[in-house]
Chain A
């Protein structure tokens, strides 16, 4: 999600029962609720149901057979590998960036925060394009890479780098406002008591930011596993080799193998649903730990 949708972790407020003047008439309530639910049913629930209905159209056996295909298994492996590299890299970056930005005053801070959000404002297709311009056959390093027989574009490294680009801001933009709001008092206290920098981070800072960090990692992972546009540009679509799960969905779909395509898509849909559940749990936990500490 791009720049600037405020995270629920930093905007959670208290809910009191509404006073009478703020209550709407019953017919207004019912009408608006019905409109909202019908709209959401059409736009959210129906696509969700369609994925499973189409995947199961030829029965359960055909559905599960879609996952025994070696290309599908290779796609699952590549998607897991990509997330296993891109997510930790961006998590470490997020923590480092948040530490520098939240704990110290320096010039150009708001510019730096804007630049960190930049990948959210860039079309995923352009995110793929920039790496083609750098590492592609007639890009900046193209001839050097060919001479040394290193493949980045139309190979796994390109997929990982492009995924890192599109998931770049997720952890940082959760942690920066959270750590800014928490302030430095606890870290100063730890330093006064003789803790080293590492001890302060592991014992004081990390426990304070763990829910925010987890939240950022969950969102980052969902996007890393589901990214389509950027990966599509750099992958080259080689079955069994540079095919991630979302790209495999597209390949099967374009071959009119709809059951297979929707079966693989249902796997990604389950991932999305698990993401939403985990995200909601983390929001509740975070709200609980905040109200406990104040």
Chain B
């Protein structure tokens, strides 16, 4: 096979489309993103370290990472059930329900935020039942978790669905003919196939939850040290004209996001190898 340099394609437009792609990508995404790293590089190490490890920032990391992990874990369980039901069991209205799963992608996050807040507020549809039981949701960390669960759900479902669809029925048949119960078949034969997409969906939901802002700020109450998420802290610093502080926190979040992106790419490679076998 000839290399890219020596082979001339019969199709025109390579230079102009690639040139435009790189220029647009550079102008809109890469140069602006590099601005945060350049700005952070201008800080001395001591003040950078102080900015990203102050108690208030650490509390925000703990909340953002903790609530995102918890929401991702809950979505793994319920996302698996939803994906399984939507792929395997026909029931009336299934297509409508299936389309509705994408609602968190389509609904503006601010709308999701005020809607969830009104439901879980102490006088809301669900909040009025939970608050007397000692589970106030709105304006607590639980509220952050609820919003992030909403946002993350489609990632797990949509990553699992195609894999469940492609599961070979022969595997289940041979397991059954060898005497496995349905539960054993699921545990030993099907679940191992579903682990890579489950982890991928979890990582995607987690990555989205880490950066999520709109759906969380209404329901969280935004109390420093208690219910303040990292993206909100960045905005607070900006409003106080503490640009260096905001940039330093942003760099930590960007590096976390890039590492997650790398992990997701590896997970997907692993996932595909699994399917190819």
Contact = CB atoms under 8 A, between A and B. Distances in A.
A126 B211 CA distance: 8
Interface stretch (A35-43, A61-69, A70-78, A144-152): A35-43
A261 B114 contact: yes
A269 B29 CA distance: 29
Interface stretch (A110-118, A206-214, A286-294): A110-118
A104 B9 contact: yes
B187 interface: no
Interface string A1-43: 1111110100101010011011011001100110111011011
Contacts of A44: 100-101, 103-104, 150, 153
A138 B81 contact: no
Contact of B235 (A97, A122, A233): A233
Interface string B131-159: 00000000000000000011001110011
Contacts of B218: 250, 253
Interface magnitude class on chain B = 35 or more
A36 B17 contact: no
B243 interface: yes
Interface in B241-260: 243, 246-247, 250, 253-254, 257-258, 260
Nearest to A96: B17
Given A36-B82, A122-B257, A261-B114, A164 B108 contact: no
A59 interface: no
B30 A280 contact: no
Nearest to A97: B21
A164 B107 contact: no
Contacts of B118: 50, 54, 258, 262
A228 B109 contact: yes
Given A100-B17, A115-B29, A123-B213, A249 B154 contact: no
Interface string A263-282: 00100110011011101100
B214 interface: yes
A159 interface: no
B119 A122 contact: no
Interface string A115-144: 111110111111001111110101110000
B238 interface: yes
B231 interface: yes
Nearest to A266: B111
Given A29-B89, A93-B20, A272-B103, A226 B258 contact: no
Interface residues of A, number: 110
Query: Which of B21, B125, B246 has the most chain A CB atoms closer than 10 A to its own CB?
Result: B21
Interface in B187-225: 200, 204, 207-208, 210-214, 218
A3 B261 contact: yes
B154 A1 contact: yes
Contacts, number: 317
A95 to B, nearest CB: 8
A123 B257 contact: yes
B41 interface: no
A263 B265 CA distance: 41
A39 B152 CA distance: 13
Contact of B85 (A36, A121, A197): A36
Contacts of B110: 226, 228, 246-247, 249-250, 265, 268
27 contacts: A1-B154, A19-B169, A21-B176, A22-B169, A24-B89, A35-B78, A36-B78, A40-B101, A43-B150, A93-B24, A103-B14, A106-B4, A106-B18, A112-B22, A115-B30, A117-B261, A121-B211, A123-B212, A126-B234, A126-B254, A129-B247, A131-B32, A222-B105, A226-B107, A226-B111, A268-B108, A279-B102
Interface of B: 4, 7, 9-14, 16-18, 20-22, 24-25, 28-33, 35-36, 39, 78, 81-82, 84-86, 88-89, 91, 95, 97, 99-112, 114-116, 118-119, 124-126, 149-150, 153-155, 158-159, 162, 165-166, 169, 172-173, 175-177, 182, 185, 200, 204, 207-208, 210-214, 218, 230-232, 234-235, 238, 243, 246-247, 250, 253-254, 257-258, 260-261, 264-265, 268
Interface of A: 1-6, 8, 11, 13, 15, 18-19, 21-22, 24-25, 28-29, 32-33, 35-37, 39-40, 42-48, 50-51, 54, 93, 96-97, 99-101, 103-107, 112, 114-119, 121-126, 129-134, 136, 138-140, 161, 164-165, 168, 184, 187-188, 191-192, 196-197, 200-201, 219, 222, 225-229, 232-233, 245-247, 249-250, 253, 258, 261-262, 265, 268-269, 272-273, 275-277, 279-280
Given A44-B150, A122-B33, A201-B13, 17 more contacts: A18-B88, A22-B172, A32-B84, A43-B153, A51-B115, A97-B21, A106-B18, A107-B4, A118-B33, A118-B261, A123-B253, A134-B32, A228-B214, A232-B214, A250-B218, A275-B106, A280-B95
